[in-house]
Chain A
Amino acid sequence: MDIPPLLLQFAGSLIAIFALYALARAMRLGGERVLENDESVKAVAAQVEDGFDAQRVAIDRGGTAALASDDQGQIMLIKRHGNQFAGRILTSDARVSEEVDAIIVTCGDPRFGPVRLSLGNPAIWVDAINRL
């Protein structure tokens, strides 16, 4: 049976891709960064939106997500993405729901996805997001 060269190339490349992915996992590349304190959240917030000057910060207990607000009333949602962080400034499209031990924030960008935050004092943030 003759296999078309393009199909052969595709299959070979696919095998190489998954082999490299598996190897990256086996070598434990990447690691898991966490937001350890207010300063680390402020630094990440300033990177997400250049010049964002976070005044108030709330970090998820696991350190994988955070909320930050500046003195202009803007609220930023930050989540871990791989071993980096990504974030969005929340708009009136943002939604927040409460669970027993956490809040779920969605920013209106469906691909960014809902972010679960287990916070010490979520009520302030729920209120602030609902007022956007």
Chain B
Amino acid sequence: MPDFSPTQYAVPLFVVAVLAEMIWARFRRPEAYEPMDTLVSLAFGLGSTMAGALFGGFAAYVFIEAYEYRIFDMGDQWWAIWWAWPLCFVLDDLKYYWVHRAGHRIRWMWASHVNHHSSQHYNLSTALRQSWTGAFTFGLLFAIPLVLLGFHPIMIAICGGFNLIYQFWIHTEAIDRMPKWFEAVMNTPSHHRVHHATNPRYLDRNYAGVFIIWDKMFGTFEPEQRSDEGGEPIRYGIVKQLGSFNLLYAVFHEWIGMVSDIWRAPWKQKLSYLLREPGWSHDGSRDTSDTIRARWQQRQTRTLPVEAKPVADQNPIAGSAEAANSPI
């Protein structure tokens, strides 16, 4: 039976890659890195590993218990069934898409996942800015169907590890675009820059882990528009930037905000502050990604010159917005 964690072996590679990107930044784009931001991101990564060691046992216990109720049995030699590995990898990536989407659309999940987005930079150190509090969400439930299908928890963990390793290299501005066929199927730096952007056009888009096809299938894909393609520069981070390099504040700020909202909310609304999208408020006084995007779309349709309309029609978001909101 295989007994190894691929991410552990990848750590030295991560360090060397960050170093290589820093050298690239030194000569090409010094502003791509900020020492304090990098320090916080790397500390996040270390803390996340420690949190995993401390709290990961609970998820393992749940999966091993659930495995007893599997529908299909691959037998004691499950690890020797070659086709089960790629199948598990693809299904695990599909699971990742949904758990990631939930991470952006359910505040309880966002309270943990926001950590990964809290940097205003986008470089390889950002990839290591991982949450400490994932064990306190219900994210592990998304993997239960795989366990019940008969994939051994160790197989799922190994596939998940390789998934995470793949996602490391896409956190960079050093790579512009990959070949077209690759961009069509795989998640790439270009697609993932969109995911980390706070520009209204890009909010809550491109949730993919390894295969971008899930976003195309489920209607959440948005291509990156470079400035030479009429796009505006990408702004990274979160809608309300932290403005602080305090590590503990960065880790827990959304948990604190969520709990205090629940505490102050009327009884009927308390659960909504846990389960509805980030930014939702019972009195409508705050912005969600949907309201921000809708406002932006309205501004676009108001300011769009008539002759520019054909270009906008070719864009999926602008196109759909005109159908729904256009005052023209």
Task: Report chain B residues within 8 Å CB of A84.
Answer: 34, 120-121, 237, 241
Task: Report chain B residues within 8 Å CB of A47.
Answer: 198, 235
Q: Is the CB of A17 within 8 A of B43?
A: yes
Report the separation of the CA atoms of residues A51 and B303 in the bound assembly, to the nearest whole angstrom.
Answer: 12
Task: Report chain B residues within 8 Å CB of A48.
Answer: 241
Please give the distance in Å from B11's CB to the nearest CB on chain A: 7
Interface presence of B249 (CB below 8 A): yes
Stretch at the interface among B22-30, B162-170, B206-214, B274-282: B22-30
Shortest Cβ distance from B53 into A: residue: A6
Q: How large is the interface on B (under 10, 10 to 19, 20 to 34, 35 or more residues)?
A: 35 or more
Interface presence of A131 (CB below 8 A): no
Q: Is the CB of B42 within 8 A of A111?
A: no
Report the separation of the CA atoms of residues A47 and B19 in the bound assembly, to the nearest whole angstrom.
Answer: 30
- Known contacts: A10-B50, A13-B11, A50-B200. The answer to whether A113 contacts B243 by CB under 8 A is yes
Please give the distance in Å from A52's CB to the nearest CB on chain B: 11
Interface presence of B4 (CB below 8 A): no
Stretch at the interface among A75-83, A98-106, A122-130: A75-83
Report the separation of the CA atoms of residues A88 and B240 in the bound assembly, to the nearest whole angstrom.
Answer: 8
Q: Is the CB of B242 within 8 A of A17?
A: no
Q: Is the CB of B200 within 8 A of A82?
A: no
Interface presence of B292 (CB below 8 A): yes
Report the separation of the CA atoms of residues A113 and B246 in the bound assembly, to the nearest whole angstrom.
Answer: 11
Q: Is the CB of A82 within 8 A of B241?
A: no
- Known contacts: A50-B296, A113-B243. The answer to whether A82 contacts B34 by CB under 8 A is yes
Please give the distance in Å from A117's CB to the nearest CB on chain B: 15
Number of A-B residue pairs, CB cutoff 8 Å, is: 111
Report the separation of the CA atoms of residues A18 and B42 in the bound assembly, to the nearest whole angstrom.
Answer: 9
Q: Is the CB of A29 within 8 A of B32?
A: yes
Report the separation of the CA atoms of residues A7 and B244 in the bound assembly, to the nearest whole angstrom.
Answer: 29
Q: Is the CB of A82 within 8 A of B120?
A: yes
Report the separation of the CA atoms of residues A24 and B32 in the bound assembly, to the nearest whole angstrom.
Answer: 11
Contact code string B38-68 (vs A, CB < 8 Å = 1, else 0): 1100110110011001000000000000000
Q: Is the CB of A29 within 8 A of B244?
A: no
Q: Is the CB of B18 within 8 A of A82?
A: no
Interface presence of B295 (CB below 8 A): yes
Q: Is the CB of B120 within 8 A of A112?
A: no
Q: Which of A10, A16, A79 contacts B243 (CB 8 A)?
A: A79
Report which A residues bind B (CB closer than 8 A): 6, 9-10, 13-14, 16-18, 20-21, 23-25, 27-31, 33, 47-48, 50-51, 79, 81-84, 86-88, 109, 111-113
A-B pairs with the 7 shortest C-beta distances?
A86-B243, A29-B33, A82-B34, A24-B35, A86-B241, A30-B34, A84-B120
Report which B residues bind A (CB closer than 8 A): 8, 11, 15, 18-19, 22-23, 25-26, 30-39, 42-43, 45-46, 49-50, 53, 120-121, 125, 198, 200, 235, 237, 240-246, 249, 253, 292, 295-296, 299
10 contacts between A and B (CB under 8 A): A16-B15, A21-B35, A21-B39, A29-B22, A29-B31, A29-B35, A81-B244, A84-B34, A86-B242, A86-B243
